[in-house]
Structure 1
Amino acid sequence: MRRLMINADDFALTDGVCRGILQAMEHGLVRATTAMTRPAGAAARITAHADALSGRMGIHFQLTGGHAPCLPPGDVPSLVTAEGVFPRKRMDIGQASADEIRREWQAQLDLLRSCGVSPSHMDTHHHVHKRPDVFPVYLEIAVRLGIPARATNPAMAAALRAAGAPYADAFITDFFGQDLTPGRFLELVAAAFAPLPDTAVVELMCHPGQNDTELCRISAYNQAREQEIAVLSSPEVRQGLADMGVAVCGPEGIPRPVRGVRDGSGGPPS
């Protein structure tokens, strides 16, 4: 049976985002989410839902978003702006110190655990692990934790596979923006599975959420999150996946790969 893990990024960004993700889990097909620890109020939001989302909540490591780091800014100077916060976007990150990334992400992981969550899987905000100066630390953590890690391209998948870290066979990133319809969703899923065997697991990234004042203040992607909930909860999508022979799953549905030999690439291109 083909399996699809639909992961909701950005848990704990705002109260409305949390409500929307929970709605997409209860009434829709979302089976996993990854939580941010750096937004204001994130720790309380994570703690409030830790028990209910046990085994389904992973970590959404951050180096972007304009939030303050977990560690004092003076301890991670290569990761912050002059104002002592993360840059807004991935392209705005300077030459990041691997040691500072490692220590900051460990602090974020420790904070998540202090909220009662043992992360079930991992990825990064704005896909910062696509950067060649960030990916080695991401790979190191994925191997150490032994949990599924998001691979955004074939080179990244090869590096994870060689290290024995779990990852999905393919990743769908295009369910985002304006064309948020059941038909488009099913087209993306069908295209991802087309070249894969019947035992494949595909991850689809989504961003459901209920719009609220705080979300409008910090993100241009706000109203569309509510449309995502509608698509992810639609009978048309549910029936379409069944017709394709695709079952939804959580992080537990991503198997550990057979350890291979490194391809010498050193990681994915940015």
Structure 2
Amino acid sequence: THLDSHHNVHRDPRVLPQFVALATELGLPLRDHWPVHHCSRFYGQWNGESHPEQISAENLLHILEMEMSEGVTELSCHPGYVDAGFTTSYSAEREAELRTLCDAALRRALAARGIHLANYHHLEQLLPRAAAA
């Protein structure tokens, strides 16, 4: 459904041409090279320090109101449950993101603003395939 790179490594000028060529060849979306606005501010950690206020429902609405533009906006997020044996520097934040994204009041607020949630599968209907790369 899309071409992904961990920590946005595809933005590195040394490998970007290869990513763009592959995305074009496969007709797959690649961040920054397709008609989708990328919103990356919904993140709860900087310099190893947790910032749960950044991943609250209130802050997410604020971010969307400030950064969303007409059309499709991609929200970077890392929600999830953390098992006892799972070691990551972004544990508590994953669960906080999950709570925020599942918040019923947030859902209602998004609907009231005309914001429709989608995933990469839905993009095939929302965007022309040729514009993906």
TM-score band w.r.t. shorter chain = 0.7 to 0.9
The 3-state SS of whatever aligns with 2:55 is: coil
- CA positional deviation for 1:143: 0.5
The question of 1:256 aligning with 2:128 is answered yes
In 2, Cα distance between equivalents of 1:257 and 1:235: 33
Which residue pairs with 2:79 in the alignment?
208
Match of 1:190 among 65, 76, 83: 65
Q: Higher strand share goes to which structure?
A: 1
Which residue pairs with 2:38 in the alignment?
171
In 1, Cα distance between equivalents of 2:56 and 2:6: 24
In 2, Cα distance between equivalents of 1:123 and 1:175: 18
Which residue pairs with 1:239 in the alignment?
108
Deviations 1:77-104 (A, max 9, x none): xxxxxxxxxxxxxxxxxxxxxxxxxxxx
Larger Rg: 1
Which residue pairs with 1:227 in the alignment?
96
Q: Higher helix share goes to which structure?
A: 2
- CA positional deviation for 1:168: 4.3
Q: Do the aligned partners of residues 222 and 140 (structure 1) sit closer, same or farther apart at CA in structure 2, a change above 3 Å counting?
A: same
In 1, Cα distance between equivalents of 2:111 and 2:101: 14
In 1, Cα distance between equivalents of 2:37 and 2:117: 14
Identity of aligned residues (%): 28
Q: Does the CA-based 8 Å contact 2:42-2:60 persist in structure 1? A: yes
- CA positional deviation for 1:169: 2.6
Match of 2:25 among 144, 151, 168: 144
In 2, Cα distance between equivalents of 1:213 and 1:138: 36
Deviations 1:183-207 (A, max 9, x none): 11111111122xx33xx00000110
In 2, Cα distance between equivalents of 1:122 and 1:214: 29
- CA positional deviation for 1:214: 4.0
- CA positional deviation for 1:212: 2.1
After TM superposition, what 4+ stretches of structure 1 lie above 4 angstroms from structure 2?
none
- CA positional deviation for 1:215: 2.7
The 3-state SS of whatever aligns with 2:116 is: strand
In 1, Cα distance between equivalents of 2:117 and 2:80: 20
- CA positional deviation for 1:140: 0.9
For the aligned residues, what is the CA RMSD? 1.8
* Count of matched residue positions in the alignment of Structure 1 and Structure 2: 120
Alignment of 1:119-138 (within 5 A): 120-138=1-19
The 3-state SS of whatever aligns with 2:42 is: coil
The 3-state SS of whatever aligns with 2:63 is: helix
In 2, Cα distance between equivalents of 1:135 and 1:189: 28
Q: Do the aligned partners of residues 186 and 242 (structure 1) sit closer, same or farther apart at CA in structure 2, a change above 3 Å counting?
A: same
Gaps of 5+ in 2: 45-50
- CA positional deviation for 1:256: 2.7
Which residue pairs with 2:47 in the alignment?
none
